[in-house]
């Protein structure tokens, strides 16, 4: 599926999360290794800059935001894919 084809779809963004191993560390609701997607959405719900910041963390990795857990870099994702994933994560309902 090309980046433009999935960008606006929930199923496409969820498929990206599955295909790139996001679900190995993140649960939908609760922490596994990293925080659950719903927990991330709850933390950033009122932050207008969150979509671009989270897309940057998806591509560049992160450590220290949620404790000492390391979020590995995903440099193989395009900017559009990272933004689609960030938008999908932020759209999750409260836990």
pTM confidence score: 0.84
Q: What is the pLDDT of residues 49-92, one digit of tens each?
A: 999 999 999 999 999 999 998 999 999 999 999 999 999 999 99
What confidence score (pLDDT) does residue 2 get? 43
Integer Cα distance of 72 and 57 in angstroms: 9
| Percent of the residues in the chain that have a pLDDT greater than 90, as a whole number | 68
What confidence score (pLDDT) does residue 12 get? 81
What confidence score (pLDDT) does residue 3 get? 45
Q: What is the mean pLDDT of the chain?
A: 88
Do 36 and 95 touch, CB atoms closer than 8 A?
yes
Integer Cα distance of 92 and 77 in angstroms: 21
Do 32 and 26 touch, CB atoms closer than 8 A?
yes
Q: What is the mean pLDDT of residues 17-32?
A: 91
Integer Cα distance of 12 and 31 in angstroms: 23
């Amino acid at each position: 599926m090309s980046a433009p084809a999935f960008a606006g779809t929930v199923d496409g963004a969820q498929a990206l999360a599955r295909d790139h191993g996001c679900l190995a560390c993140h649960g939908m609701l609760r922490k596994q290794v990293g925080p659950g997607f719903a927990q991330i959405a709850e933390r950033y719900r009122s932050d207008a800059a969150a979509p671009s910041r989270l897309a940057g963390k998806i591509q560049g990795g992160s450590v220290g935001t949620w404790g000492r857990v390391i979020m590995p870099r995903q440099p193989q994702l395009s900017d559009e894919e990272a933004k689609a994933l960030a938008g999908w994560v932020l759209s999750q309902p409260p836990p």
